[in-house]
Amino acid sequence: MTTVTRPDLRLHVHFEDSPYNSWGSRYAHVYVTPVVMARGKYGQQEYDAYGVDSYDIDVPAAVSALKGLRVKAQIDDHSGRFYGYRLAYGLDEVDLRTAETILPVLRRLDKRMTALADRFGHPRDLTAFLAHLADAMGLSGKSFVRRVTDDADYEGHGHRSMDADALRYWLDGQAQDWRKRHGIAEPAGAE
């Protein structure tokens, strides 16, 4: 009998200062994509965060169907919080076969996130939205990862695992550092 291990699926979170600033406004973005924490099959076989469609790891079809799934959020020098976030697929080309793979995933996640919103209320911010998404995806514990430098790599795979509280703290710190870097005052009434 073959034992099937469940992939260590996480949500990779990346904060990026946007080079596309216009009309005197500055922007930063957060990108969130699913990754699998695993040991690669080729080369040095390092434990790392792999894209769900990577050829370097074996994943079930349900996990590879998450290819292109993402959340993108934005913050600007006039807002006090992240906005414009939603669950979507970010694919350049979608043929019929791909669309038939995407649609059940989006419906299932939407149904689960709606049930969570009915139970706990609509997510009040990006971190709560991502926590709802992680729960809808069946992720538990430290569902989020971010890339770290070698000197901050305590886990030995170039990423830091985070729960929702750690994610909130990190995102708040990234936004605060971004404001300081560009001389942007903390908005009035910011939490």
Task: List alpha helices for the chain, DSSP H.
Answer: 61-64, 96-120, 126-136, 164-181
pLDDT digits (tens, 9 = 90+) for 159-168: 999 999 999 9
**C-alpha span between 115 and 30 (Å, rounded):** 25
pLDDT digits (tens, 9 = 90+) for 6-50: 889 999 999 999 877 766 688 999 999 999 998 888 876 778 888
Q: Does a structural domain hold residue 3?
A: no
Q: Does a structural domain hold residue 144?
A: yes
**C-alpha span between 191 and 184 (Å, rounded):** 16
Q: Does a structural domain hold residue 146?
A: yes
Give the model's pLDDT for residue 126: 97
Q: Does a structural domain hold residue 53?
A: yes
Q: Does a structural domain hold residue 191?
A: no
**C-alpha span between 32 and 154 (Å, rounded):** 22
Q: How many domains does the chain have?
A: 1
Q: Does a structural domain hold residue 83?
A: yes
State how far the alpha carbon of 32 is from the alpha carbons of 10, 59, 182, in Å.
10, 19, 24
Domain that holds residue 102: 8-181
pLDDT digits (tens, 9 = 90+) for 84-128: 999 999 878 888 988 888 999 999 999 999 999 999 999 999 999
Q: Does a structural domain hold residue 61?
A: yes
Q: Does a structural domain hold residue 186?
A: no
